[in-house]
Chain A
C-alpha cells in the first residue's frame, strides 16, 4: 500500500523530468551563460576573460548607434503588434460569421503564419524589386503606372516594407487567438443585448470586446515577445543597412557579435533586451488582469 502511495506522489515529477531536463539544458543554461558572459571581457577571437562588471553594458549603451537602434525597435514593435492586432481582430470577426467557403478561407489565412519567415521575406524582396519585381510588373500591365517605381528608394521606405511584412505574417496568429475567444462567447449575450436595443457598436464594446480581452492579452504579450526578437525579416530585406539605420536590437546585436567580433557588448544588449521584455510583458499582463477583475 505504501509503495503505491509513494509512487503516486513522485510519478508526476518523473514524467515531467525529461521536459524539465530539456528546458534546463537548452533554455536555462544558455540564459545563465549569457548573463555571465555579459559581465565578462570577451576578446576579438572569442576567448572569455575576467569579470569586468558593467563594462560591456556601458560600451553597448554609449555607442552612437544605440539610440537609432532602440528607436527602430520601438517603431517596429509598436507598429507590427498594434496594426496586426487591429487587422487580426477584423479578420477574426469576419471569420466568425457564417459564409460559403469559410473553412477554405480559414485554411488560407494560416499560411503566412505557417511559412518560414526567411522564405516570405525573400519573396517580398523579389516582389518589390525595381527591375524584375512582380509589383511593378502587375501595376505596369494594369496601366496603373507608366514607369517602374523604385519601391526601395530610401531606407525609411525599406523599413516600412519590413513592418508591412511583419504585420502580414503576424495577422494569422492574432486572428486565431481572437477567433478562439469569439467562439467561446455564448450567443445568449448577443440575444440579450439585441432585446435591450443595443446597436452593433454597443454590442461590440459592451459584449464582444470585454469577453475577448483575455485572448487578446495572450496574443498581444506573445506578439510583443516574438516581434521584438524577430530576426529573419529585417536581416533578409536590408540586413540593417545602411549604417544600422534599419537595425532593430536583435539584428544589431547579431552584427556586433559576429561581424564586428564584439561579443561583450552584444551579450550585454541581449540581457538588456531580456529585461525590457520582462518589464513590458509583466506590466501589460498586470494592467490587463486588473481590468479583467473590474
Chain B
C-alpha cells in the first residue's frame, strides 16, 4: 500500500514537471520589459489597464499568440539577460538600453524582418538612426527622456539671484546659496555613481562643445573640452557646492533632497514632477536648460531605450514568429496602449502619431518635445559603449578622489580606441 502511494506521488510530480503544453499552433513569445516605475508591473501583468493587464488585452486581441512577459528591475536586467543568453535561452523580445553587443555578435533580428512598414515610418527618424550599425537598424526606440535643470524657486527668491545660464553664473549662484544657508542647503546636485554617472559626464561635456565622439564618430574622450568639463564638475564638488558624496548618492537621493527643499538645483529627467507628487513632496520648482560654458553651445541630454528581437534559428516557423513579433509591436505602439504607457511613466514618445494625443491631453508637453528635438544621445551604436559608460564613471570617481583628469581620460581613450 505504501509503495503504491509512493509510486503515485512520483508519477504526479513528474507530470507536474512537464507542464502544460500550449494549444496546437500557438506561438509563445518570451518578453522582458524593464521596470521604469512603480506602475510598470501592474500595467503589464496586473490590473493596471481598467482592471486588465497588457498581456491579457494583447492575447484577447491576438488569439494564437501567447506572451510570457516578465518585468525586471533595471538593477537586475543586465544580469538576467546575460545569464539567459549564456544558457542559450535568450528572450524573444527585449526592452533595454544597449544593443550594440548583441547586434555585433549576430544575436538580433534586423528590424525590417519583423516591424510592419506603417509602424516603422511612425518612429522619429533621429531615434531610429541611433540604432543603426552599417546601414542595418537593429532595434526600435520605446521611449525617451530629456534632462533639464530643475531649480527651487523659493530658494532663488529668498537668496535673490537669477537662474544661471553659464558656468560662471552657476558658480556665482552656488556661492551665494552656500553663503546664505551656511551649508544647510546644497546648491547643486551631482550624481557620479555607477547608477548613471555617464549622464553627469554628458551634462558638462555637451555644454562645452565636447562629447564622447568627434565629428567623424570616432571616440574622442580625452579632448581638451572634455578635460575642462570634468575639471569644472569636480571643481564644483571641491568648492563645497554639491551634495557630500557624488560617488554614492544616486539621482533618486538627489531628487529626495530636492523634494525636501535641501537642494537648490538638480539635473534630472522630465519624470521629476511625477516622482515628487508620488512621494508627497511639495516644493515650488521651475525648469531651465543646463548651464553651458561661455562660448559653447547649449546641449541637452536625451536618453533613449529600445525594443529588440532576438534570433531563434531553432524555431520551425520563422515567418510566423516574425509576424507575431510584429503584432506585439503594433499592439504596444497603438495609440490607446502607447500613450497610456508613456504618460503613466512620465516619459516622451518615440512615435509621431502619439504626439498629437499627448499634446492634446497636456499642452505643456509641447515644450518637452522642442527640447527633444535638440537632444544629443549616447553613442550606444558603438561596440565599445559599455566600456566607455563604465570608464567615464570610473574617471569621474577617481577625479573626485583627487586624480588627474587629463591622465585618467587619456588612459580611457587609449583603452577604447585601440
Question: Contact residues of A with B, CB < 8 Å?
Answer: 42-48, 130-131, 150, 152-153, 155, 158, 238-239, 241-245, 255, 258-261, 263
Contacts and interface: CB of A to CB of B under 8 A. Distances in A.
Interface string B222-252: 0000000000000000000000110110000
Contacts of A158: 248
A46 B244 contact: no
B86 interface: yes
11 contacts: A44-B105, A47-B86, A155-B247, A239-B193, A239-B194, A258-B78, A258-B82, A259-B390, A260-B386, A260-B387, A261-B78
Interface stretch (B62-70, B342-350, B355-363, B392-400): B392-400
B397 A241 contact: yes
A260 B390 contact: yes
Contacts of B244: 130, 150, 152-153
Contacts of A255: 194
B395 to A, nearest CB: 9
A159 B386 CA distance: 28
Nearest to B80: A258
A43 B103 CA distance: 12
B101 A44 contact: yes
A46 B386 contact: no
A152 B249 CA distance: 12
Nearest to A261: B386
A162 B248 CA distance: 14
B270 to A, nearest CB: 26
B397 A243 contact: yes
B401 A45 contact: no
A242 B83 contact: no
Contacts of A42: 86
Contacts of B398: 242-243
Contacts of A241: 193-194, 247-248, 397
B107 interface: yes
Q: Name the 6 nearest CB pairs between A and B, nearest first.
A: A242-B247, A46-B82, A243-B397, A242-B397, A46-B85, A46-B86
B142 to A, nearest CB: 20
Nearest to A237: B248
Interface of B: 78-79, 81-83, 85-86, 101-102, 105, 107, 193-194, 244-245, 247-248, 257, 262, 386-387, 390, 394, 397-398, 400-401
Interface residue SS majority, chain A: loop
A117 B81 CA distance: 26
B248 A43 contact: no
Given A47-B86, A242-B400, A243-B401, A258 B247 contact: no
A153 B78 CA distance: 32
Interface centre among A48, A243, A244, A261 (most CB of B within 10 A): A243
Interface residue SS majority, chain B: helix
Given A45-B105, A130-B244, A245 B401 contact: yes
Contacts of A43: 101, 105
Given A242-B247, A242-B401, A258-B79, A131 B85 contact: no
A155 B244 CA distance: 12
Given A241-B193, A242-B401, A46 B83 contact: yes
Nearest to B193: A241
Nearest to A255: B194
Nearest to B88: A47
B248 A238 contact: yes
A205 to B, nearest CB: 45
Contacts of B86: 42, 46-48, 263
B306 to A, nearest CB: 15
A238 B248 CA distance: 6
A45 B397 contact: no
A130 B79 CA distance: 32
A131 B105 contact: no
Contacts of A244: 394
A150 to B, nearest CB: 6
A158 B244 CA distance: 13
B101 to A, nearest CB: 4
B394 A243 contact: yes
A239 B401 contact: no
Given A47-B105, A242-B247, A244-B394, 15 more contacts: A44-B101, A44-B386, A45-B101, A46-B81, A46-B83, A46-B86, A239-B193, A241-B193, A242-B397, A243-B394, A245-B401, A259-B78, A259-B194, A261-B82, A263-B86
Contacts of B193: 239, 241
A130 B253 CA distance: 13
B57 to A, nearest CB: 32
Contacts of A45: 82, 85, 101-102, 105, 107
Nearest to B387: A260
Contacts of A155: 247, 401
Contacts of B101: 43-45, 261
Interface centre among A42, A241, A242, A245 (most CB of B within 10 A): A242
A47 B108 CA distance: 13
B390 A239 contact: no
A138 B257 CA distance: 22
A290 B334 CA distance: 75
A66 B327 CA distance: 49
B248 A239 contact: yes
A131 B194 contact: no
Contacts of B85: 45-47
Contacts of A260: 386-387, 390
Contacts of B245: 152
Contacts of B390: 259-260
A241 B344 CA distance: 33
Contacts of A263: 82, 86
Interface centre among A158, A245, A259 (most CB of B within 10 A): A259
A59 B394 CA distance: 18
A232 to B, nearest CB: 14
Contacts of B257: 131
A258 B390 CA distance: 11
A11 to B, nearest CB: 16
Contacts of B387: 260
Contacts of B81: 46
Contacts of A239: 193-194, 248
Contacts of B397: 241-243
Nearest to B386: A261
